[in-house]
């Protein structure tokens, strides 16, 4: 999935000439927490968050603090043609809530951690009716394929597969299935020596 499919296109922006008070009001009115700062031609100049603006509001009233002083001067960005994994990795790595989507220096969108979560929920099928089976698999060649074949042989239709952190050469895989009876699948896997941690119809 590309970022262009998930981003908020043509986001609300502001220029650095705007006052801090007006910027806060704009964000509150539109229920947003991140705002690209741009030139009149939509070239990215910086990025501001509601938290940073609120912290700078009082100092700006008694001094000459401006929006330029509070904005992130060289924000983390992504390209609309990047894969969604790139945005997720940067949001996680830099511990940020969102970032501008930039094409040739121009702001074309914005993507937030909420957008990433929505994509994850969609890709994992978490909001659709489903069954789930959690299986511990050794990292030996061929075992993952054996589990897949066993699930299929027992009539399980796999919607998505999630993976836990590896521990001692083993990984826990979370197989989300179209609604089905999981008992036959569990029995078949356990008869082959696999550990099934959970099976939910």
CATH number for the domain including 82? 3.10.580.10
Which residues on adjacent β-strands are paired with residue 99? 111
Boundary of a domain, candidates 120, 140, 160: 120
Boundary of a domain, candidates 64, 91, 120: 120
Instruction: Read off the pLDDT of residues 106-154 as tens digits, 9 standing for 90 and up.
Output: 999 999 999 999 888 887 777 888 999 999 999 889 999 999 999 999 9
- Are 112 and 133 part of one and the same domain? no
CATH number for the domain including 185? 3.30.70.260
Boundary of a domain, candidates 61, 91, 120: 120
What's the predicted TM-score (pTM) here? 0.73
- Are 92 and 163 part of one and the same domain? no
- Are 67 and 91 part of one and the same domain? yes
Mention every residue, 6+ apart, whose C-beta is less than 8 A from residue 142. none
Full domain range(s) for residue 115: 3-120
Stretch (H or E) spanning 124: helix 113-124
Instruction: Read off the pLDDT of residues 61-115 as tens digits, 9 standing for 90 and up.
Output: 656 778 888 899 999 999 999 999 999 999 999 999 999 999 999 999 999 999 9
| 179: three-class secondary structure by DSSP | coil
């Amino acid at each position: 999935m590309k970022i262009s499919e998930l981003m908020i296109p043509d986001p609300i922006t502001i220029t650095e000439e705007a006052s801090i008070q007006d910027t806060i009001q704009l964000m509150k009115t539109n229920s947003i927490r991140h705002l690209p700062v741009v030139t009149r031609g939509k070239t990215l100049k910086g990025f501001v968050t509601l938290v940073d603006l609120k912290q700078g509001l009082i100092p700006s009233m008694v001094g000459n603090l401006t929006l330029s002083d509070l904005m992130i001067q060289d924000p983390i960005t992504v390209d609309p043609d990047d894969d969604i994994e790139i945005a997720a990795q940067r949001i996680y790595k830099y511990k940020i809530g969102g970032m501008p989507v930039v094409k040739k220096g121009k702001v074309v969108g914005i993507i937030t951690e909420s957008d990433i979560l929505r994509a994850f929920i969609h890709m994992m099928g978490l909001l659709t009716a489903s069954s789930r089976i959690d299986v511990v698999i050794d990292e030996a060649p061929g075992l993952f394929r054996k589990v897949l074949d066993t699930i299929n042989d027992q009539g399980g239709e796999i919607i998505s597969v999630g993976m836990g952190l590896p521990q001692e050469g083993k990984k826990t895989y979370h197989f989300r299935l179209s609604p089905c009876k999981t008992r036959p699948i569990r029995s078949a896997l356990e008869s082959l020596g696999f550990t099934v941690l959970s099976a939910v119809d």
